[in-house]
Chains A and B, each alone.
Chain A
Amino acid sequence: MKRRDESHITLAHGNGGRRMRALISEIFVRYLGNASLDPDCDAVTLPFPQAELLFSTDGFTVDPLEFPGGDIGSLAIHGTVNDLAVSGATPQYLSLNTFIEEGLEIAQLTRIIKSMGSAAQACGVKVVAGDTKVVRRGEGSGLYLATSGIGVKATMQRVAMSQIRGDDAIIVSGPIGDHGTAVLLAREQFGLQGELKSDAASVVPITNTLLEFSGLRFMRDPTRGGVATVLHEIHRSTGLGVHLQQAAIPVRDEVTSVCEILGYDPLYLACEGRVVAVIDQTQADTALRALQRLSDGREAAIIGNVSSHTPYVMLETPLGGQRIVEELEDDPLPRIC
């Protein structure tokens, strides 16, 4: 006889007592469990070969918690896995911090952690440490997650911005702006609806393919601020300009339509499963064909090149005109005029 409502999170689920232990074992351990994940100990010892270790961390506050093509759970895995992968590491171990708001439906939490478990498995990573807190109703928007991850350097190849040269090619691994648009549509913001899936996914297959090329200089996953922000990071750090060809940039129809209606620019919209790579011009075409053989790389494209004689991030329009791609100032808001 269920005395109390067991279908929603209560503050008791965060007080360290029985209900919290039950929550952790029935949901977290059940879906994330592995030999190294022992909820009864405070730290985990991890076996490491003699290798360079890479460490990264990320927070996740996406709203809504579930959207076409993913949810905050799979995102929490892919976010940190991708940051490690684009840095040339093989992601292996993750820690997870969970902040649950009182009143969250346990069925939804279960779906999210289950999705997180299968995402981790698909990426070949283990969640080996974690902590769960419950906050009072109104103090969090359902669920916040944070993951930190360790990876082992996969190659002696230096993959870093400092390696970028004057006329290197710039490749994007697929259509841009899918995630930002999919979340906006999932929220039915501004009265817009549409069935666009987020591109949220692990980029490990893409980075592994690119790491086979000696001419690979740099990789980054364009999340908040989109591709434009990554290009500005390159421009600011190397002092080199960027020359883009707008007609070569893959953008899905739904993303173009939403940008037309709201006055947004796809270059600034978030992706969650794409890679922007900078590679030696002579190996660009071969690398592109290699990417296009991957399921997540079919629409990869060379979108432009780094340039030592233009002082800006410059875009050539389909008409042959030129415009500067500004660094993102404020969050995009719909423009009326």
Chain B
Amino acid sequence: MSNQRARQLLDQINTLAPSNPFKIMNVCGGHERTINLAGLRSLLPGHIELIPGPGCPVCICPEETIAMAIAIALNEPVVVVTFGDMLHVPINTARGEPRSLEQARAAGANIHPIASPLEARTIALRHPTQQVVFFMAGFETTSAPTAALIAEGIPDNLLLLLAARRTWPAVAQLLNRDQAGFDALIAPGHVSAVMGSDEWRFVAERHQRPVAVAGFDAASLLAAICSVTQQAINGEATLVNSYPAVVTPSGNRHAQHLIDQTFTTVDSRWRGIGTIPASGYALKKKYRLHDAHIHFSKYSAQSHHKDEMPPGCDCAKVILGKEPPDHCPLYGTACTPSNPVGPCMVSDEGACRIWWSSGLHKQRRAKQA
């Protein structure tokens, strides 16, 4: 039944003639997964381009935080727990040093993948004499459960190494600095479920770009694509909610209360983008005993990681949606899924990995205008 709705939306989209090309950015790894699983890019007309923006927490996690996690894991008698995606992300290191948490684990560090903050607490409770460091990289959807974990109570031996980010400030920076390589935005469904869709009103009202919140099935995504495309043709720019089952204008108030109770908003670094004002969460003073950034501050002096991407890698431009993955000089040659150079090729939600798995394996240099 919803497959028919998706096909109807596809037929409708194929009748629309927005500007060519018409670039729609999404800022959510989950959306990219749905687009890939349904093969949406192969179904949309050529002039509509779906661009993966800075929506994958693994790709935008600053290099120095990963370096810090590796250093702690290798040098301290701790267990580092983190979400599966974070294990493979590479950083620039001297030759022979572990380039990722996965390599640090192979070198003997005690690193354990988890699927929920609750598992971090369970492991800490099971090993009361050992310190457990939960390395958390994620957006609001994952920050709310992390805040809940802390608010509900965590043992003294559980510390958090936070790389928690807020999604809209990154999009605002792109728009404010006129770096926005997109004509319309698909706003993240789960982030909006927690924070409310109102957060995304500024894209339409201040920057005159159509925006629609989408869920994680093909029909909901296609409804959002159809809506923003139709708006652009009509010269309109409003916020549309294509995920009504879950998203409301104000979101989950209690979740927002827990976040405000546990975290402060701070300026934060995004890998490949730099510092974005008020774009991250840090633990409040009252939880400083649980803050690994403070407790293990001697390892944060890894400042030599000036947050560059690996040499020759264009992930920075790709993350901003300013360049498609296959314009990067390393794409398809030095950088492939089996031998990833930059974070966008490592993570399953990284833009380059997604391009690769849609069949585009050749490097397509930008047409010299």
A–B proximity contact (CB within 8 A): yes
Residue ranges of A at the interface with B (Cβ–Cβ < 8 Å): 190-191, 262-263, 312, 314-324, 326-327, 329-330, 333-337
- A321 and B39 contact, CB distance less than 8 A: yes
A336 to B37, CA, bound (A): 16
Which residues of the partner chain A approach B139 to less than 8 Å between Cβ atoms? 337
- A335 and B337 contact, CB distance less than 8 A: no
Contact with A along B49-72 (1 / 0, CB 8 A): 000000111100000000000000
Listed by A's residue number, 29 A-B pairs whose Cβ atoms lie within 8 Å are A263-B33, A312-B359, A316-B39, A317-B37, A317-B38, A318-B3, A318-B38, A319-B3, A319-B10, A319-B218, A321-B41, A321-B43, A323-B357, A329-B337, A330-B102, A333-B87, A334-B83, A335-B29, A335-B83, A335-B348, A336-B57, A336-B83, A336-B84, A336-B85, A336-B142, A337-B29, A337-B30, A337-B55, A337-B349
Which residues of the partner chain A approach B157 to less than 8 Å between Cβ atoms? none
Known pairs A334-B84, A337-B56, A337-B138; A191 contacts B42 (CB<8 A)? no
- Nearest residue, chain B, Cβ from A331: B84
Which residues of the partner chain B approach A327 to less than 8 Å between Cβ atoms? 338
| Minimum Cβ distance to chain B for residue A271 (Å) | 21
- A337 and B337 contact, CB distance less than 8 A: no
Which residues of the partner chain A approach B84 to less than 8 Å between Cβ atoms? 333-336
- Nearest residue, chain B, Cβ from A314: B359
- A322 and B42 contact, CB distance less than 8 A: yes
- A323 and B142 contact, CB distance less than 8 A: no
Which residues of the partner chain A approach B40 to less than 8 Å between Cβ atoms? 319, 321
A227 to B37, CA, bound (A): 17
| Minimum Cβ distance to chain A for residue B211 (Å) | 20
Which residues of the partner chain B approach A326 to less than 8 Å between Cβ atoms? 337, 356-357
Which residues of the partner chain B approach A263 to less than 8 Å between Cβ atoms? 33, 348
- Nearest residue, chain A, Cβ from B56: A337
For the complex of A and B, list the 9 residue pairs with the smallest distance between their C-beta atoms, beginning with the closest: A321-B39, A333-B84, A334-B115, A337-B29, A190-B115, A323-B39, A322-B42, A317-B39, A321-B43
| Minimum Cβ distance to chain B for residue A314 (Å) | 8
- B349 and A335 contact, CB distance less than 8 A: yes
- A336 and B43 contact, CB distance less than 8 A: no
| 12 additional contacts (CB under 8 A) given A334-B83, A336-B138, A336-B142 | A263-B33, A317-B38, A318-B3, A319-B43, A321-B39, A329-B337, A329-B338, A333-B84, A335-B33, A336-B84, A337-B29, A337-B55
| Minimum Cβ distance to chain A for residue B10 (Å) | 7
A334 to B118, CA, bound (A): 14
- A337 and B10 contact, CB distance less than 8 A: no
A191 to B85, CA, bound (A): 19
A190 to B118, CA, bound (A): 10
A320 to B119, CA, bound (A): 39
Residue ranges of B at the interface with A (Cβ–Cβ < 8 Å): 3, 6-7, 10, 28-30, 33, 36-43, 55-58, 83-85, 87-88, 102, 113, 115-116, 118-119, 138-139, 141-142, 218, 337-338, 348-349, 356-359
A320 to B142, CA, bound (A): 33
Which residues of the partner chain A approach B142 to less than 8 Å between Cβ atoms? 336-337
| Minimum Cβ distance to chain A for residue B193 (Å) | 13
A335 to B40, CA, bound (A): 21
| Minimum Cβ distance to chain B for residue A201 (Å) | 30
Known pairs A319-B3, A326-B357; A337 contacts B42 (CB<8 A)? no
A248 to B39, CA, bound (A): 16
| Minimum Cβ distance to chain A for residue B145 (Å) | 10
A333 to B41, CA, bound (A): 26
- B357 and A337 contact, CB distance less than 8 A: no
Among A262, A318, A330, contact of B115 (Cβ-Cβ < 8 Å):
A262
Known pairs A319-B7, A319-B38, A324-B358; A337 contacts B43 (CB<8 A)? no
Which residues of the partner chain A approach B55 to less than 8 Å between Cβ atoms? 337
A312 to B7, CA, bound (A): 26
- B38 and A321 contact, CB distance less than 8 A: yes
Which residues of the partner chain B approach A333 to less than 8 Å between Cβ atoms? 84-85, 87, 113
A320 to B10, CA, bound (A): 11
Which residues of the partner chain B approach A334 to less than 8 Å between Cβ atoms? 83-84, 113, 115
A82 to B173, CA, bound (A): 58
- A337 and B7 contact, CB distance less than 8 A: no
A320 to B6, CA, bound (A): 11
| Minimum Cβ distance to chain A for residue B144 (Å) | 12
A330 to B103, CA, bound (A): 13
- B28 and A337 contact, CB distance less than 8 A: yes
Which residues of the partner chain A approach B38 to less than 8 Å between Cβ atoms? 317-319, 321, 323
- Nearest residue, chain B, Cβ from A318: B3
Known pairs A335-B349, A336-B142, A337-B30; A323 contacts B37 (CB<8 A)? yes
Which residues of the partner chain A approach B358 to less than 8 Å between Cβ atoms? 323-324
